[in-house]
Amino acid sequence: MPNSTPTSPDSSTWMDALADFLLEEPSIEAIRLNPESKRVEMATLGRVDGELLQAKLTEVLRAVDARWLQKTETVPAHSGMLDVRQKDGALVLEKPSCPTAPKFWKWRDFAWPEPDEMEQESDDEWRTLAWQAAICGVALVAGYVFDQSALFAISLIAGGWDAAKDAWANLLERRLDVHFLMLAVAAGAVAIGAWEEGALLLFLFSTSGALEHFVMYRTHKEINALTKSAPKLAHVLLPDGTTEDRSVSGLRVGDVIVVKPDELFAVDGTVISGSTAADESTLTGEAVPITKETGAPIYGGTLNQWGLVQVRVDRPATQSALAKIITLIQTAQHLRAPSQRFTDRFGTRYTILTLGVVTLMFFVWWLGFGISPFENTAVSKSSFYRAMTLLVVMSPCALVLSIPSAILAAIAWGARRGVLFRGGAAIEKLAEVDVIAMDKTGTLTEGELKVAKIESFPAGRENDVLRIAVSLEANSNHPIARAITRHGQSEGIVADKLAEFQSIAGQGLRGRTAGGLSYVGRRELVKDSALGEVLAGVPDAPLGFSEVWVLHEQIVGRVLLKDEIRAGSRGVLEKLAAEGVRTIMLTGDRRAAAVEVGEKLGIAEVRAGLHPEDKVAAIRELTQAGHKVAMVGDGVNDAPSLAAAYVSVAMGARGSDAALEQSDVVLMQDKIEKLLSARRISQRARRIIQQNLIISLGSVIVMAVASLFGLVPLTLGVLTHEGSTVVVCLNSLRLLFEKE
Q: Would you please indicate which residues are annotated as catalytic (active-site) residues?
A: 439
Could you give the CA distance from residue 65 to residue 77 in angstroms, rounded to a whole number? Answer: 20
Number of CB atoms found within 10 A of residue 625's CB: 9
Q: Which helix (H) or strand (E) holds 545?
A: strand 545-552
Number of CB atoms found within 10 A of residue 341's CB: 12
Judged on CB neighbours under 10 Å (0-12, 13-18, 19+), 689 is buried
According to DSSP, residue 417 is labeled T
Number of CB atoms found within 10 A of residue 508's CB: 24
8-32: burial string, b at 16+ Cβ within 10 Å, e else: bebbeebbebbbebbeebeebbbbb
Closest CA to 468 of 493, 492, 448: 493
Kindly list the distances between the CA atom of residue 570 and the CA atoms of 182, 417, 604, 671, in Å, as whole numbers in the listed order.
55, 21, 12, 12
Closest CA to 235 of 226, 227, 243: 243
**With the C-alpha atoms ordered 365, 366, 369, 372, is the resulting torsion angle positive or negative?**
positive
**424, 515 contact by CB (below 8 A):** no
Q: Which helix (H) or strand (E) holds 712?
A: none
- 258 backbone dihedrals φ, ψ, rounded to 5°: -105, 125
Q: According to DSSP H, which parts of 2-45 are helical? A: 11-24
Judged on CB neighbours under 10 Å (0-12, 13-18, 19+), 737 is exposed
Could you give the CA distance from residue 256 to residue 243 in angstroms, rounded to a whole number? Answer: 10
Kindly list the distances between the CA atom of residue 175 and the CA atoms of 165, 179, 187, 352, 528, in Å, as whole numbers in the listed order.
13, 11, 19, 10, 80
Kindly list the distances between the CA atom of residue 403 and the CA atoms of 340, 399, 642, 689, in Å, as whole numbers in the listed order.
6, 8, 26, 6
Q: Which helix (H) or strand (E) holds 3?
A: none
> What is the 3-class SS of 202-270, one letter each residue?
HHHHHHHHHHHHHHHHHHHHHHHHHHHCCCCEEEEECCCCCEEEEEHHHCCCCCEEEECCCCECCCCEE
Q: According to DSSP H, which parts of 245-347 are helical? A: 281-284, 321-332, 338-344
What is the amino acid identity at position 423?
Answer: G
